[in-house]
Chain A
Amino acid sequence: MSTMRNLSFDAIIIGGGGSGLRAALELAKSGKKTAVLSKVFPTRSHTVSAQGGITCAIASADPNDDWRWHMYDTVKGSDYIADQDAAEYMCTEGPKAVFELEHMGLPFSRFDNGRIYQRPFGGQSKNFGEGGQAARTCAAADRTGHALLHTLYQNNLKNNTVFLNEWYAIDLVKNAQGDVVGCIALCIETGEIVHVKSKATVLATGGAGRIFASTTNALINTGDGIGMALRAGFPMQDMEMWQFHPTGIYGAGTLVTEGCRGEGGYLINKDGERFMERYAPNAKDLAGRDVVARSMVMEMLEGRGCGENGDHVMLKLDHLGEEVLQKRLPGIVELSKTFAHVDPAKEPIPVVPTCHYMMGGIPTNVHGQAIMQDGDGNDQIVNGLFACGEAACVSVHGANRLGGNSLLDLVVFGRAAGMFIEGALNEGIDYLAASQSDIDASMARLNRWNESSGGEAVAELKAELQDVMQNDFGVFRKEENMQNGVRKLSDLRERIANAHLSDKSNTFNTARVEALELDNLLEVAEATAISALERKESRGAHSRYDYPDRDDVNWLKHSIYFPVEKRLGKRDVNFTPKTVDTFEPKVRTY
């Protein structure tokens, strides 16, 4: 092999979505030598698909709104395993981060007084659950993610961020001491392989919804950062916690924002009954997403689902009127017509709970520093490695994320990581350089695919993996199915290790990228499966038939998955916010 080119940066940010671009912006402004490495042109990242908004107590809809109420809702929504210091940080820093976005030009919708429009979303309350429904989600119609992502990209252009667009990170490079000192990356257009050296490596690679057969996620959401971190031996936190969004369009999986219910839409079963009144008498259709998704599945299991097979329910919006739909939900009108062949001004939209969001991920502190555990189970910082956005688990979402909190997570913790790295670079970071054998180790799987001469095809293996996850790790989980699932994944691991990349060309070889993505899907799927099997309780999005109750005695904990031993441990949840009293775990009802 010819000599590999080196690129060298102060900070490399892998992923060009909301959190990566926000971190990059902070670093670019500081004058540090920063690059964003993204497998797609940044505005094609999945943040673009976020619809309903960014939840934040900016006190626009309600001048008396309070970040503490938002924090209370977030902690309750998480079923009490969000870290309270992190939730506190997000809710207090949030308004600053949102106003910055507005100053950068984000075209938020507006109230008559000129302030940012806010709509009600699920799980929101005033006065710590005592004051009724809040309206706390700041929106740009139902295209908030698009508006946010483009605004961040535009401001990175303004600040001369270096972009390595359509480059794919293959694996992290660790030095002899276990510090992360960069990555190996592939230029998709030319096929060139480069060693990217960096003092700080930020995984902002987003989610991995594509481990499921049915998902609202983009085709690119293959958990690349999670895969890289797991292969490097780093642990993952709360990987059993996957959010199933109540309203994916039946058949297509495309998302219909919770904002529809925020604006007054509601779900009905085949009898036309607004069934959420039975499951969540107060919040009704705006209960937590896990609660709504389970209620929908119960309706179907009890024979009240819609359609020939009773396998979906309906989202009714027609009573809102054409004007509200056009003004507040124009994207939904378009998506419904395209993917459900339904005009929501006239008929309800068929919907089904659909995999949407990974609450788990790389454990980090509020500065984005990745965390592992030492031999005694104490937290230990991973030198050189950072994570933010969906790939990270700070954790502000715990066992169930509230709608609108993901965009806030992206900008608050992308910004925090950027600020922290700037400070660390100013103080000086000096890690041992990687040796040739360190680099060779990171090249191993690319070499494996490049040298493969036969074996099964990537597309079929991927479909099989997605079916395992869909069938055995869905909204409701059973011990026996999960055990089977874990076995099937172990078998898939062997088959994927022998799979075939037939196209060995260099120029824009998407087959090679898809093969490399399959490795990552497998890592994420296995971490999910083992964590789900081992967490023996029901909490938030993790619902088991055999352990139907929350078990605070044993499981008021993060799970932490160690990939080398494939073992699940526990990690303490933070219950000590700095400026407010602890929110003690309570029975969670809506």
Chain B
Amino acid sequence: MLQVSIYRYNPETDSAPYMQEFQVDTQGRDLMVLNVLELIKQQDSSMAYRRSCREGVCGSDGMNINGTNGLACVTPLSDVVKSNKLVLRPLPGLPVVRDLVVDMGIFYKQYERIQPYLQNDTTPPAIERLQSPEERDKLDGLYECILCACCSTACPSFWWNPDKFVGPAGLLQAYRFLADSRDTAARERLAELEDPFSVFRCRGIMNCVAVCPKGLNPTRAIGKIRELLLENAT
């Protein structure tokens, strides 16, 4: 029997959060953490968590798994369980709505702040805008972000200044548009980011890189933005 300890909090009935213990019979299978949660929900239907695609592309089920942020649906027990113990907590640093469900509001707000859409003030051609494979390659490692918030909620700078520091997820997307040969708003985008907080609160701790379930590298993208900001300033 796997010992599972889960953060519980329902604001309607609980004065404070607590950890609840469950025993789960995995029948020796190397289940995903999400499968364990599904088994627990059969025992206790009041357990709340988000989930959708169950294959690591929708970004719903980011949570803190034995101390590290990750997606429950693509984290096998064999990767995280030691001494037969699994501890699940909500993503750190965001307000808890209930159990493993956090309020993602400020995370989305930082994403919206970087104007996450292509801006091009020229009239589009009758067909697609052309882009060479080399130019398109520059978007690899950037556009794949699934907005799961594993990175930003693992970032001490984001914990301290979630309202002023864009955070690794938002900055990765900021660079995704800066790097796009079709985007013509680079100057305006950089102007929005040049204050001491938006980008420069990044201390290069690289927790974001360590936890990204898609293997992306926000720290590198932030470095590129810094270079562009410095180039712009000189």
Q: Spell out A's residues near B (CB within 8 Å).
A: 40-41, 43-46, 48-49, 58, 60, 98-99, 102-105, 107-116, 140, 143, 146-147, 150-151, 154-155, 157-158, 189, 218-220, 254-255, 331, 334-335, 338-339, 457-459, 502-503, 505-511, 514
Contacts and interface: CB of A to CB of B under 8 A. Distances in A.
B83 to A, nearest CB: 24
Chain B's interface: helix, strand, loop or mixed, by majority?
A: loop
B52 A459 contact: no
Point out which of A43, A155, A189, A335 has the most chain B C-beta atoms below 10 A from its C-beta.
A43
Contacts of B12: 505-507
Given A48-B57, A105-B182, A158-B117, A43 B10 contact: no
Contact of A46 (B53, B112, B129, B133): B53
B199 interface: no
Given A102-B129, A114-B131, A459 B53 contact: no
A114 B45 contact: no
A43 B147 contact: yes
Interface residues of B, number: 56
A104 B146 contact: no
Contacts of B54: 218-219, 254
A157 B130 contact: no
A48 B45 contact: no
A508 B74 contact: no
B126 A254 contact: no
B97 A189 contact: yes
Contact of A102 (B42, B51, B116, B128): B128
Nearest to B30: A341
B15 interface: no
Contacts of B116: 154, 157
A147 to B, nearest CB: 6
A143 B112 CA distance: 22
A98 B128 CA distance: 8
Given A46-B53, A113-B130, A254-B55, A107 B143 contact: yes
B52 A40 contact: yes
13 contacts: A49-B53, A109-B136, A114-B132, A146-B146, A147-B143, A157-B117, A255-B55, A338-B55, A457-B42, A457-B45, A505-B12, A506-B12, A511-B46
A260 to B, nearest CB: 16
B52 A46 contact: yes
Interface in B13-35: 13
B196 interface: no
Contact of B74 (A40, A116, A338): A338
B152 to A, nearest CB: 15
Contacts of A113: 130
A219 B51 contact: yes
Given A105-B118, A111-B133, A218-B53, A503 B46 contact: yes
A218 B118 contact: no
Point out which of B12, B55, B76 has the most chain A C-beta atoms below 10 A from its C-beta.
B55
Point out which of A108, A155, A254 has the most chain B C-beta atoms below 10 A from its C-beta.
A254
B101 interface: yes
Contact of B117 (A46, A60, A104): A104
